[in-house]
Structure 1
Amino acid sequence: MTRRLSPVGLEFIESAALRLVFAREMSAPPEAVYRALADDVMGWPTWFAAVTRCRPTDGGKGREVLLKGGTRFRETILAADEPTRYAYRVDETNAPGPRALVEEWRLSPAGTGTHVRWTFAAEGALAFRLSMRIGRAGLGRAFRDAVTALDRRLTDTKA
């Protein structure tokens, strides 16, 4: 069953009841990382193992994402500020629990590479918030693995 989530804005990233923040350094420059996040939406499954399909919708204003296990998201892009920020809101999902969800990728130069910060901001029932806090380590591992794979992909294509 598809459920509609609250149409929150960028301010939700700071005010959400649940905020999980992960960071990692990459050797690829911010412009290349941004292009992989925002412009090569269909390429996400090649570096983010949890994503099995990702495609742009609404002329690039949204995305449709399918995760392993069958979780689906229909999203709206909230910010595409090249090369520093890419953020999106989940509008519809078949996942139980969330009432609002925004993810933000912040990119900043780190020497010749990029400092990547990913914020997962959500609101939902107590059981959802507790399960996300318990699952924090797994989400962090998925982020680290994804950023490592993306960095490898971007630096391999430069050679």
Structure 2
Amino acid sequence: MARQLSARQLRPVGLDFADTAPLRLAFTANLGVPVERVYTALADELETWPCWFTAVTDVRPTGDGKARDVRLKGGGFFHETVLAAHPAERYAYRIDRTNAPGVRAMLEDWNLAYSTAGGTRVRWTMAVDGTPVLRAVLRLGRPGVGASFRDAMRKLERRLRP
């Protein structure tokens, strides 16, 4: 039987952590769907995340929509606080509690912009402070995280196209 990791409280961070974190992984994709529709999928249609982001198995709003509980494949989980919910522009949340080893602080920031092609440019930043081992693992895993993001964006685009 796999050992269940216990939850730990992380250091609270603000939106500026997306620019100041010791480790930032940022990825960009262009989707051929309107920016308003992409924002709605990210911020309002939480139950659909597992359909397009395969690492996620469940997302539930808590705290009157100001927080989220996220379950990941492999048994990981995050309890998150939404820090920015600006329609058609930005959706960002801080991870407050997790069972992921080595994490000290973490923020995910989704920035949306109209693309010149008429769709949406999505920029996702994962900002992390953690142990040296965790930072090394994430740096080495950057190509895999990027591939997971690109796969998620392709699936989201297919899901949102009329």
Give the TM-score normalised by structure 1.
Answer: 0.97
State the AA in 2 paired with 1:119.
Answer: T
Give the match for residue 81 of structure 2: 76
Letter of the structure 1 residue corresponding to residue 46 of structure 2: V
The amino acid of 2:88's aligned partner reads: P
Is 1:129 matched up with 2:135?
yes
1:42, CA displacement in angstroms?
A: 1.3
CA contact (8 A) 1:87 1:103 kept: yes
Question: Would the aligned equivalents of 1:108 and 1:116 in 2 still touch at CA under 8 Å?
Answer: yes
Q: Secondary structure at the match of 2:24?
A: strand
Aligned to 1:7, the other structure's residue is in SS state coil
Structure 2 distance, partners of 1:56, 1:135, is 29
Indicate which of 62, 66, 70 corresponds to 2:71: 66
Aligned to 1:114: 120
| Distance in 2 separating the partners of 1:53 and 1:41 | 8
| Residue equivalent to 2:3 | none
Structure 1 CA distance, aligned partners of 2:46 and 2:65? Answer: 9
Q: Residue 42 of structure 1 contacts residue 56 of structure 1 at CA under 8 Å; is this kept in 2?
A: no
Gaps of 5+ in 2: 1-5
C-alpha separation between the residues in 2 aligned to 1:46 and 1:21? 22
Encode CA deviations 1:33-60: one digit per residue, 9 max, x unaligned: 0000001011101110110001101110
For residues 20 and 91 of structure 1, what CA distance do their matches in structure 2 show?
A: 19
The question of 1:49 aligning with 2:54 is answered: yes
- Is structure 2 residue 151 aligned with structure 1 residue 149? no
Q: C-alpha deviations, 1:44-77, integer Å up to 9, x for none?
A: 0111011000110111000000010010000000
2:19 partner SS: helix
Matched, 1:16 2:41: no
Spell out, residue by residue over 1:110-138, the C-alpha distance to the aligned partner (whole angstroms, 9 max, x if none). Answer: 13200000000000110010000011011
The percentage of counterpart residues that share the same residue type is: 53
Match of 1:138 in 2: 144
Query: 3-state SS of the aligned residue for 2:18?
Result: helix
- How many residues are treated as equivalent by the alignment? 156
TM-score (norm 2): 0.95
> Partner amino acid for 1:37?
L
For structure 1, the residue ranges without an aligned partner over 5 or more in a row are none
